[in-house]
């Protein structure tokens, strides 16, 4: 057996599974971990905790992992904070990873700081990019104050970050890839001070944001609940998913689940229509690769207009009802709006 000495510890991804299936964000992170690991000349190791995950472990390898630490036990089937933390911390103390990545999911948002504090290391929230600098230190990019800041963790290891789904692409599966699956012995007597007794899944109403082809997003400019309903009405006639900015959530017009951006959802619609929002970077980084972007804002000088393809300066509470009416007319007139000779595409 040959042993290889690495200058850096491995790059880790803490994978997340729901009902025995590894989540998309975990695969995306493995894809990116591969790049970072190649930059460091070190392996990618994935920690996968759950039950009956043999098949999934193979997919994890095919996505770019060199080694999967698999905890396969009925007790791990759902996220149990104490048990998960203990397993990850113990293994991290042994393997000394250079980098540890988790998805910005509800689980990741709790588990990451639990692990980071135990390891007394730094943790960066909701990164929109992760790159190695010339000193092989991880630059963790986060939008702030109208620009991008880079956060680093120069001394402590691992360098930890959470990343939302959709920031990195899903890697191509390479079923020929070789990798090793290491079964973790699951310690039975980890004291539990928290117990998950039930997980209730609620399917969100309407078109899901992440897979929507059209998104209408509303912001503080909705002004009140009535204004918000007007924007929601546009989403409905456009067969669009309804997204939001943080003020709309703070005002209680909509749920946190609809928030797009750095600390919310990453979306990639074909068409994005932003209504009554200012184009703040923390929101805009959540929109990845939209083909067409439109903004409706009452302030002609709003920075949102520098980030879209079509801009309309108007009070959205007055403009949207007219737009909805005109869409109705357009549809009933068989797509012949103003007698121009547009060719159908």
Partner 1 sequence: MLRIVVCVKAVPDPKEAGRIRIDPVSRALVRADLPLVLNPLDKNAMEAALELKEQFDAHLSVLSMGPPPAESVVTECLALGADQGYLLSDRALAGADAYATAYTLAKGIEKIGPADLVLCGRASSDGSTEWVGPELATLLDIPIVTMVKEIVECTGEWWKVKASLDNGYRVVRVKLPAVLTVTRELNIPRTLSFSGIIQARRKQITQWGIDDLDVPEEAVGLKGSPTIVSEMTTRESKRDVEMISGTREEMAERLIQELADAGFLSSS
Ligand X SMILES: Cc1cc2nc3c(=O)[nH]c(=O)nc-3n(C[C@H](O)[C@H](O)[C@H](O)COP(=O)(O)OP(=O)(O)OC[C@H]3O[C@@H](n4cnc5c(N)ncnc54)[C@H](O)[C@@H]3O)c2cc1C
* Footprint on this chain of ligand X (rule: CB under 6 A): 219-221, 223, 245-247, 259-264, 276-278, 280, 282-283, 286, 297-299, 302, 315-317
Exposure string over 237-248, b if 16+ CB within 10 A, otherwise e: ebebbbbbbbbb
Among ligand X, partner 1, none, partner that 200 touches (CB below 5 to 8 angstroms by kind)? partner 1
Q: How far is the CB of 262 from ligand X (least distance, A)?
A: 4
Geometric angle at alpha carbon 123, from 166 and 108, rounded to 5°:
50
**Counting contacts by CB under 8 A, is residue 252 touching partner 1?**
yes
143 binds partner 1 (CB under 8 A): yes
Range in contact with partner 1 (rule: CB under 8 A) among 65-73, 92-100, 182-190, 195-203: 195-203
For ligand X, the closer CB: 50 or 143: 143
Residue 121 contacts partner 1 per CB under 8 A: yes
Q: Which stretch binds partner 1 (CB under 8 A): 34-42, 45-53, 180-188, 299-307?
A: 299-307
State whether residue 337 is helix, strand or coil. coil
Nearer to ligand X, 59 or 307 (CB): 307
For the chain, give the longest Cα–Cα distance: 77
Q: How many residues contact partner 1, by CB under 8 A?
A: 94
Which of residues 173 and 251 has its CB atom nearest to partner 1 in the complex? 251
DSSP, collapsed to helix, strand or coil, labels residue 143 as strand
CA distance 240 to 276: 17
Least spacing, CB of residue 33 vs ligand X, in Å: 24
Residue nearest to ligand X (CB): 219
Site for partner 1 in 155-194 (CB under 8 A): 155-156, 193-194
CB of 88 to ligand X, least distance (A): 26
259 with 243: CB under 8 angstroms?
Answer: yes
Neighbour tally for 274: CB within 10 Å = 30
We find the least distance from the C-beta atom of residue 258 to partner 1, in angstroms, to be 12
The neighbour count for residue 284, using CB atoms within 10 Å, is 23
Judged by beta carbon distances under 5 to 8 A according to partner kind, the member of ligand X, partner 1, none in contact with residue 221 is: ligand X
276, interface contact from partner 1, ligand X, none, CB < 5-8 Å by kind: ligand X
Assess 257 for contact with partner 1 (CB under 8 A). Answer: yes
Q: How many CB atoms lie within 10 A of CB 39?
A: 14
Contact (CB, 8 A) for 75 and 83: yes
Are 248 and 223 in contact, with CB atoms under 8 Å apart? no
Q: Nearer Cβ to ligand X, position 150 or 298?
A: 298
d(CA 213, CA 166): 15
Q: Which is nearer to ligand X, 85 or 278 (CB)?
A: 278
Sequence-ordered list of residues with C-beta below 8 angstroms from that of 177, at least 6 positions apart, any chain: 61, 62, 64
Q: Which residue, 65 or 323, is less far from ligand X as judged by CB?
A: 323
Where b means 16+ CB within 10 Å and e means fewer, 84-101 reads: bbbbbbebbeebebbbbb
259 pairs with which residues across the strands?
A: 244
């Amino acid at each position: 057996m040959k042993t290889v000495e690495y200058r850096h510890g491995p790059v880790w991804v803490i994978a997340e599974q729901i009902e025995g299936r590894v989540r998309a964000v975990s695969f995306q992170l493995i894809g990116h971990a591969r790049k970072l690991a190649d930059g460091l000349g070190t392996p990618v190791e994935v920690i996968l905790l759950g039950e009956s995950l043999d098949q999934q472990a193979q997919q994890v390898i095919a996505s770019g992992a060199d080694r999967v630490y698999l905890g396969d036990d009925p007790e791990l089937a759902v996220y149990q904070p104490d048990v998960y933390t203990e397993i990850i911390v113990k293994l991290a103390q042994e393997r000394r990873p250079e980098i540890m990545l988790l998805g910005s999911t509800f689980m990741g948002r709790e588990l990451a700081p639990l692990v980071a504090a135990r390891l007394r290391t730094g943790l960066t929230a909701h990164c929109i990019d992760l790159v190695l600098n010339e000193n092989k230190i991880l630059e963790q990019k986060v939008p702030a104050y109208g620009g991008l800041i880079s956060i680093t963790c120069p001394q402590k290891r691992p360098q930890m970050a959470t990343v939302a789904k959709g920031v990195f692409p899903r890697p191509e599966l390479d079923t020929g890839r070789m990798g090793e699956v290491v079964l973790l012995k699951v310690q039975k007597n980890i004291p539990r001070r928290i117990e998950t007794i039930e997980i209730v899944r609620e399917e969100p109403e309407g078109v899901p944001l992440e897979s929507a082809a059209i998104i209408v997003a509303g912001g503080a400019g909705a002004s009140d609940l009535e204004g918000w309903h007007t924007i929601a009405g546009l989403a409905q006639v456009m067969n669009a998913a309804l997204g939001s900015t943080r003020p709309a959530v703070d005002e209680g017009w909509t749920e946190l689940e609809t928030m797009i951006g750095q600390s919310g959802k990453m979306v990639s619609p074909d068409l994005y229509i932003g209504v009554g929002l200012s184009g703040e970077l923390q929101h805009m980084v959540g929109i990845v690769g939209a083909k067409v972007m439109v903004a409706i804002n009452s302030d002609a000088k709003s920075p949102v207009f520098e980030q879209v393809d079509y801009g309309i300066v108007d009070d959205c509470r007055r403009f949207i009802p007219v737009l909805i009416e005109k869409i109705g007319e357009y549809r009933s007139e068989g797509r012949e709006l103003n007698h121009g000779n547009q060719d159908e595409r």
